Amino acid sequence: MKRSPMTIIFLTVFIDLIGFGMILPLSPFYAEHFGASPLEVGLLQASFSLMQFIVAPLWGRLSDRFGRRPVLLMSLLGSSISYFVFGWAQSLSWLFASRIFQGIFTANFGVAQACVADLTAEKDRAKGMGIVGAAFGLGFIFGPFFGAQLSILGFGMGFPATMAGLVCLINFVMALFWLPETLKKGEKAEERKEFIGRFEALKRVFESPQIAALMLVYFLCTFSLANLESTLALFSERRFSFGVRETGQLFAFVGVIMAITQGYLIRKLIPRIGERMMMVWGPLIAAVGFSAVAWSPTWGTLAAVLVFVAIGTGITNPALLGSISLLSSDNRQGIVLGVTQSVGSLARILGPVSGGFFFKHWGIEAPYLIGGGASLIGFLLVVSIATKIPERRGRSHVAH
């Protein structure tokens, strides 16, 4: 039976995000178990993203030169090892080491986006990015739920991370047999002839002012979400006395809304309003949600305003990524989307650090007000450049 490459890529991202999501609600409590402060909890999240920021463009360039498949396989195997180290941690320093190692080898999301760019026509690019986003969202549904359930079985706080390592290892074996190479041989050969230096590659990426502006919006929106992700468990614990189980269910709820948004809603919105308007309205909706989190008096209210966060983010990201991909030449999809992942990683470095700092020193509401403000700035920036970004770009217009 022939398997669709898009289906395999979807499953690869989905299964990997299950592993990632399994330790998401656990990490703050696990770090506190070793005596971490709220700021150190934020730094733990940031250490992962710091390494992603450094290596994501490199993985993207390597995937342009040698193909997507070997980079994805290496990423999955390295992630599996890092989860095992996390699960068997004996101190806070072990947790930091495992997250740093995982950050180095987590190249799969940006490279998976490059696979989508290889496989989709320009008119379907945002929809294709939405499929990857839906896999991300579904992983957030099942991962936190499974992690929360495993944490109460009595096998120790590291047990969910150990299971996450096993899930990722199974994913590696599946990808080894089923994952095809999506980059055409001619494109790989062309890139080998011009394997330019890293800083020259980055310079060429940012030569397009439209790409630079869209990446800034992506940074602001990701920064807002990172503020929330890194502190929501602590916020829910302080205000509603939530534990690991309830926090896992909350993250799963957000994942459900995000998966529905990216897997279904954007397919309905794109033909009607287009990617440009999705980029305009998405950050504004998210800004309302982030700001409202701060003043949620009940857990029901919190769940309701998180719907705005999930829909706003779910609308924004595929539209941004699709437009960035369309503004890039075919043989540089890996490096451009790798740099985009790196920009997102920078946001996930600064977001948790600022979130933990302001949570501790300015009050538990502060991270969400800051996140709302950042998303609002993203909205204003998109409004200022929207007319300069065409809905569709032909091959003769791509940026080199």
Nearest one of 20, 162, 158, 17 to 81, comparing CA atoms: 162
**Residues above pLDDT 90, as percent of the chain:** 6
| Upper half-sphere CA count for residue 340 (Cβ side, 13 Å) | 31
Nearest partner of 377 among 209, 211, 217, 214, judged by Cα: 217
In sequence order, what are the beta bridge partners of 58? none
Give how far the C-alpha of residue 229 lies from the chain's centroid of Cα atoms, to the nearest Å: 11
pTM score, two decimals?
A: 0.66
Q: Structural domain boundaries of the chain?
A: 5-397
Q: Is the dihedral of CA 93, 104, 135, 296 positive or negative?
A: positive
- Selection from 161, 3, 174 nearest residue 72 by Cα: 174
In terms of C-beta density within 10 A (0-12 exposed, 13-18 middle, 19 or more buried), how is residue 217 classed? buried
Record the tokens describing residue 103, joined without a space.
């950050």
- pLDDT tens sequence across 331-358: 666 667 777 777 877 887 788 778 878 8
pLDDT tens column, 316-328: 888 887 777 777 6
Nearest to 352 by CA among 89, 20, 40, 56: 40
| Whether the predicted pLDDT of 394 surpasses 70 | no
Within 152-243, residue ranges assigned H as helices are: 159-178, 185-193, 198-205, 209-240
Contact 258, 229 (CB under 8 A): no
17: DSSP letter: H
- Hunting for tokens 């007319």 — which residue is that? 387
Residue 7 has pLDDT above 80, yes or no: no
The winner for highest mean pLDDT among 121-130, 239-248, 296-305 is 296-305
**Pick from 138, 162, 147: nearest CA to 245:** 147
Q: Please tell me the distance from the alpha carbon of residue 306 to that of residue 286, in angstroms, as a whole number.
A: 9
Q: What is the DSSP string of 172-189?
A: HHHHHHHPPP-S-HHHHH
The answer to whether the beta carbons of residues 303 and 232 sit under 8 Å apart is no
Instruction: Report helix, strand or coil for 328.
Output: strand
DSSP codes of every residue in 266-325: HHHHHHHHHHHHHHHHHHHHHHHHHHHHTT--SHHHHHHHHHHHHHHHHHHHHHHHHHHH
Q: Does the pLDDT at position 283 exceed 50? A: yes
Q: Is the pLDDT of residue 277 over 70?
A: yes
CATH annotation of 5-397: 1.20.1250.20
360 burial (CB, 10 Å; 0-12 / 13-18 / 19+) is middle
Tell me which H or E stretch contains 92.
helix 92-105
Place of tokens 């997507």: 68
Q: How confident is residue 396, by pLDDT bands cut at 50, 70 and 90?
A: very low
Q: How many CA atoms, within 13 angstroms, populate the side-chain half-sphere of residue 95?
A: 26
Confidence tier at 202 by pLDDT (50, 70, 90):
low
Distance CA 400, CA 397 (A): 9
* pLDDT tens by residue, 362-392: 888 888 899 899 999 999 988 887 776 655 5
Q: What b/e sequence results for 68-86 when a residue is b if at least 16 CB atoms lie within 10 Å of its CB, and e otherwise? A: bbebbbbbbbbbbbbbbbb
